[in-house]
Structure 1
Amino acid sequence: MKNARLLYYLLVSCLLFAFNSCSDPGAVIDDNMALPNKVWPYNNHVGYNFKIDDVNAGYNFYINLRVTGDYKYSNLFVLISDPVKKKPAARYELKLARPDGQWLGKGSGNLYSFRIPFKSNYKFPAPGTYHISIEQNMRDNPLHEVSDVGLRVEQAR
């Protein structure tokens, strides 16, 4: 029994190490938040903090999104705060499907994953920790069949 438990913990540790070692060195942040019951209400603002050290580099920003095949729209409107300026959040339309209904993301089972750019070659004014929040801005509240919402920030190449 103790050997089986030790083997289990060793296997889990090896898997976690393997997943962490595969991370992209160009990514400042690439994180996703699972939404409980695949429901995204207006008041659930998904926020991310990240640190910028190199202000000479440009940065690309992406929304990571996963929806189920039962998501009933071909797009999703979001409000995204600016990491530097204290102004109202900008509204973005995320295109998820073609007019014929074919999903634009990558499918796995009943989930479709998207990585959608929303800023490119963005320059930060100073090193430091920055914050971005994302909120859904659709007519439905809550919005159903959204599994995960995330943010990726990477150095522009």
Structure 2
Amino acid sequence: MRSKVGIFFLITMLFASCDSSSDFDAYVALPKSSWNKKNTIQFTFPINDSIGKKNLFINLRNSKDYAYSNLFLITQMNFPDGQVIIDTLEYDMADVTGKFLGQGFSDIKENKLFYKENITFPATGEYTFKVRQAMRKNGAVEGIEELEGITHVGFRIEKIK
């Protein structure tokens, strides 16, 4: 049994390392599958190509415990020259029948959400991407303190071929 698990892990790692379209791909696991409104997730990455076009994605894994059909996020991109771009984004997490969107056969769904499409980074250097949840209940002023059901948050940069 142990050898089957080892072989599965090795094959999984081989497939993951063969992804030539990815310039950056990282995840952060959230404690207790819950995203606190004060927990800003941060990814720092180098950009060595200021000519090639890229697509940027926010990757999320959610469980059946996620209680909403949408998700509001606040993002911040910090450039090497000190420029900062902040966006408020909304994503659909479920269809009109309440079925979760995303990929996966189990209770965990993987969502690859477009953040920026067909962009060129203006300069080489180190960039930082930050994201936090900004969910609130209808009519409420205060945000949801603990957003349950989000297990992982990731950031991915893909080269456009």
TM-score, structure 2 length as denominator?
Answer: 0.82
Runs of 4+ deviating beyond 3 Å: 11-18
Provide the rounded CA distance (Å) in 2 between the counterparts of 1:95 and 1:82: 22
After TM superposition, give the deviation of residue 27 of structure 1 in Å.
1.0
- Gaps in structure 1 of 5+ consecutive residues: 1-6
Residue of structure 2 aligned with 1:86, choices 84, 87, 99: 84
Q: Does the CA-based 8 Å contact 2:74-2:132 persist in structure 1?
A: yes
Question: How many corresponding residue pairs?
Answer: 148
CA-atom RMSD in angstroms: 2.2
Provide the rounded CA distance (Å) in 2 between the counterparts of 1:16 and 1:134: 32
* Partner secondary structure for residue 22 of structure 1: helix
Give the structure with higher Rg (CA): 1
Identical pairs, percent? 30
Determine the structure 2 residue equivalent to 1:74: 69
Aligned-partner residue type, residue 121 of structure 1: N
Provide the rounded CA distance (Å) in 2 between the counterparts of 1:83 and 1:25: 25
Provide the rounded CA distance (Å) in 2 between the counterparts of 1:35 and 1:28: 23
Determine the structure 2 residue equivalent to 1:4: none
- State yes or no: 1:130 paired with 2:127: yes
After TM superposition, give the deviation of residue 16 of structure 1 in Å.
5.5
Could you give the per-residue CA deviations for residues 20-78 of structure 1, whole angstroms, max 9, x where no partner exists?
56321221111111101011011111111111111110110111101111211011111
Aligned-partner residue type, residue 131 of structure 2: I
Distance 1:69 1:128, change over 3 A: same
After TM superposition, give the deviation of residue 79 of structure 1 in Å.
0.7
